[in-house]
Amino acid sequence: MRRISLLALAVIVSGVVVAAAGAGKKDVTLSLVAYSTPKTVMAKIISAWQQTPDGKGVSFTTSYGPSGDQAKAVAAGLKADVVFLSTGDDVNALVDAGLVSPNWQKQSYGGDLAYSVVAFAFRGGNPKHIKTWDDLVKPGVQIVTPNPFSSGSAKWNVLAAYAAARREGKTDKQAQAFVTKLFHNVVSQDSSGRNATNTFLAGKGDVLLTYESEAVAAKQAGQNLGYLVPGKTMLIELPIAPIKTSPNLDLVNKFIAFAKSAPAQTLLAQYGYRPVLKSVAKQYRSGFPTRALTTIANPWFGGWRKVDKRWFDPQSGLMVGIEKSVGGPTG
């Protein structure tokens, strides 16, 4: 009788432990810190994951803002379990802060969750007939682009302009001069890609330099916005990375794996992002124009470490000099 009682007690205790473990998972909250524009699609992906066994009972807090500012905030203590940022430069800042593994690019798809490209967006049917990068530097053309010292979108725009000039046969110095000339036509530099979109939609400027995905999102929201992908542009690589100090690292990695799976990649494609998963990318290929795409690994750039030092260092980067010459922001 005593043995039966002990066995029953063991089963009861075991049951309590299992129940507690299940309850503990339901109490897990993951913190996602992301750049400014993917709020809608990430909400869809999170909701889809919460319907799976791994995500059931897991809640999220989210923060969206300028990619560079978001990385600085996480480095300064903003709670994060996973980051989805718009440049590898911003992830590297978290590597330097000891929060992300130096091997983050060894994750699947080089650490990227999705791709986009730099696009030109217009209101009212493109009345100034802007089609090429050279059209942007014509007298009287007003450009809206974010601040490259806070926004990842802005950095991609700068590099895309430089790469387009190099693809046309310009030297390094000539391509730098082209970027400077382009910035003489810039009339607004908001803190983030989303803020720049809002400024443009409010009526400022003739053309918005933006993510293709952001232009698609604006159209889907019913905004009077057209866009085109120029013949020469940058492939925007959008990285996602776990915070290695997260107490829920295993769960974070399961979420990232789901975000790179077909259901989530399909959601990304439907919201204007170019999928990293080839099977989904092939399915949605007709919606994404093929262009001459320059990557950050191109020898003109040499990766984000070199790009950050050469172009965006707040003390000595090329953009400091360019912004000073046009009276723009330098921080």
**Domain annotation covers residue 331:** no
Q: Where are the alpha helices (DSSP H) in the chain?
A: 2-26, 39-49, 67-75, 88-96, 133-136, 152-167, 172-183, 193-201, 212-220, 249-259, 262-270, 278-283, 304-307, 318-326
* Whether residue 232 is found in the same domain as residue 250: no
* Whether residue 267 is found in the same domain as residue 168: no
* Whether residue 159 is found in the same domain as residue 307: yes
* Whether residue 11 is found in the same domain as residue 126: no
* Whether residue 318 is found in the same domain as residue 189: yes
Return the CATH number at 281. 3.40.190.10
* Whether residue 103 is found in the same domain as residue 128: no
* Whether residue 61 is found in the same domain as residue 42: yes
**Residue-number span of the structural domain to which 29 is assigned:** 2-114+237-287
Task: Output DSSP code: residue 273.
Answer: P
Strand partners, 122: 226
* Whether residue 48 is found in the same domain as residue 92: yes
Among residues 214, 228, 114, 235, the alpha carbon closest in space to that of 164 is found at: 235
CB 211 within 8 A of CB 118: yes
Give the total number of structural domains in the chain.
2
Q: Which pLDDT score, from 0 to 100, does residue 25 have?
A: 53
Q: Which pLDDT score, from 0 to 100, does residue 15 have?
A: 39
Q: Which pLDDT score, from 0 to 100, does residue 302 have?
A: 97
**Domain annotation covers residue 88:** yes
* Whether residue 50 is found in the same domain as residue 104: yes
* Whether residue 281 is found in the same domain as residue 247: yes
Rounded alpha-carbon distances, angstroms, from residue 97 to 284, 310, 313: 38, 21, 17
Strand partners, 34: 64, 84
Average confidence (pLDDT) per 10 residues, the chain, 331 residues: 39 35 64 97 98 97 97 98 98 98 97 98 93 97 97 97 98 98 98 96 97 94 94 97 98 98 98 98 94 96 97 96 95 86
With a threshold of 0.85, does the pTM exceed it? yes
Q: Which pLDDT score, from 0 to 100, does residue 24 have?
A: 41
* Whether residue 103 is found in the same domain as residue 145: no
Q: Which pLDDT score, from 0 to 100, does residue 20 have?
A: 33
**Domain annotation covers residue 58:** yes
